Amino acid sequence: MIQTRFHYHSYTAQSTDFSNTVQVLADQLDTTLPLLRITFFGAATNGDYEEKLRILHEVLASVYPSSRPLIGFVAQPVIFTEGLAAEALYLSPGDTPDKMSYKTVAETPYILIENKHEKALIMEGIRCTDMSENMAFQGKVLFQRIATVFQEEGFRAGDIVRQWNYIGHITEAENGMQHYQAFNEARARFYKSSDDWHERGYPAATGIGMSIQGLIISLIACIFTTPQVRILPIDNPLQVAAHHYSQSKLVGEKQRSFAKIETNEPAELRKKATITTVTNPKSEKKSLSSGMKETTTIIPLATPKFERGKILLNQQSGLCYVSGTAAIRGEESMHSLNAELQTRQTIENINFLISEENLRPVGITDFVTTFVSLRVYFKNKEDAEVIQAEVEKQWAGIPVVYMQADICRKELLVEIEGVARLEL
């Protein structure tokens, strides 16, 4: 099973300048294993992001001249070091797929891994050339590019099992629409192309901020043609499913649509009316002909389309992608001013998500869970040590990368995601 044979490793590095830091980190990579993707995290501005990304590609090209891995660079400062962190995804030792291809379609690089009964498609760091465009536009462009690759390789939106969405200044708004909500609108439109969400559930996902403008998307999609492998969406009864959030939890102007309807008013009562329509992102005035009236329909804002977790399971083992998780109970944020309590609540949410009590209803019992990768995002630098202390108490010895980033709600101070193996 491809997914359970992935091997995760985290690295950090610090040196005199950015180029040296990249080289120090690259020297730690295990070149005996095929490196599929590597996600870098570090400080960047709108002015130096492109140059830093160029350096990353240049150094990795020298280390992997013939099979260059997919590279992503997320503008999130790394705590406890002024340098870089990276999460690398390798193909595990001894695993030889029938076919592994490095491809580019519609200016989008990706890796396709194929075996007899399975295919995995990996994208990393997909972004617009001009990251200063508004969020709605960037979301539309990136999902169009993903759709083109999927069509080329025979994948559907419903085949995505894990997605990462890095959203510049995530809680800020433009034209009345929060950046996160503008992204959610674009994601929801793309996901409408697939008709099997009720059966397989949405992907596990993270929507997290960046310190620069723009949108970056990474994902893993897979197709299995054997009944021995199940793909299971995992809900958490402690939390309302994100795709069922009420409208009060979404931040943005409601969209409105209008329809003209003929009236049967007597001619002497008819008047030409001028009304203001709100069509987001801007308003405009429309004139109605005599004998017509306007009806208004408010279009609900799109909810975040992801599951709390996603498990890929065969008869002996499984891989659980834990979505970005915060201190939310029901759909309410908890302990809004206390990073320590928020971290504890977040850990409790994750532990229950992957507990036997929660997984028994989907037929998973008598298993051992081991995290192989964790990411911790914190909003305020001064909270980093107390957050780390809580994480280390729960998951001592697990590779963790700590990044500073805004969370999708202004009152939330920490978010945690991870990858866990289940041994049955």
Q: Among 11, 74, 87, 81, which residue's Cα sits nearest to residue 44?
A: 74
pLDDT of residue 272 exceeding 50, the answer is no
Within the chain, what is the greatest distance between any pair of CA atoms?
86
Mean pLDDT of all residues in 152-177: 96
Q: Among 141, 199, 187, 196, which residue's Cα sits nearest to residue 163?
A: 187
Domain boundaries, the chain: 3-248+301-423, 255-299
Place of tokens 């809680």: 171
CA distances from residue 400 to 47, 163, 287, 348, 391 in whole angstroms, order as listed: 29, 19, 59, 17, 9
CA–CA gap between residue 164 and residue 205 (Å, rounded): 6
- Tell me the per-residue pLDDT of 209-260, one tens digit each, with 9 for 90 and over: 999 999 999 999 999 999 999 999 999 999 999 999 999 999 998 776 666 6
CA–CA gap between residue 405 and residue 381 (Å, rounded): 9
DSSP bridge pairs for 223: 119
Choice between 182 and 259, residue whose per-residue pLDDT is larger? 182
CATH superfamily label, 3-248+301-423: RutC-like (3.30.1330.40)
CA distances from residue 274 to 243, 270, 271, 277, 323 in whole angstroms, order as listed: 37, 13, 10, 10, 48
- The pTM of the full predicted model, rounded to 2 decimals, is 0.91
CA–CA gap between residue 203 and residue 162 (Å, rounded): 5
Residues 215 and 424 sit within 8 Å (Cβ to Cβ): no
Give 120-164 as a DSSP string: EEEEEEEE-S-TTS-HHHHHHHHHHHHHHHHHHHT--GGGEEEEE
CA–CA gap between residue 177 and residue 130 (Å, rounded): 20
Residue 51 three-state SS: helix
Mean pLDDT of all residues in 261-276: 52
Residue 195 — pLDDT band, cuts 50, 70, 90? confident
- Give pLDDT, residue 2: 58
Residues 297 and 256 sit within 8 Å (Cβ to Cβ): yes
Mean pLDDT estimate for the chain: 91
Tokens of 130: 């001009």
Residue 273 — pLDDT band, cuts 50, 70, 90? very low
Residue 54 three-state SS: helix
> Residue 297 contacts by C-beta under 8 Å, 6 or more apart in sequence?
256, 257, 258, 259
- Give pLDDT, residue 194: 85
Residue 279 — pLDDT band, cuts 50, 70, 90? very low
Tokens of 183: 């992204």
Q: Is 161 exposed, middle or buried (0-12, 13-18, 19+ CB in 10 A)?
A: buried
pLDDT of residue 382 exceeding 60, the answer is yes
Q: Among 311, 353, 310, which residue's Cα sits nearest to residue 329?
A: 353
Q: Is 293 exposed, middle or buried (0-12, 13-18, 19+ CB in 10 A)?
A: middle
Share of the chain above pLDDT 90, in %: 79
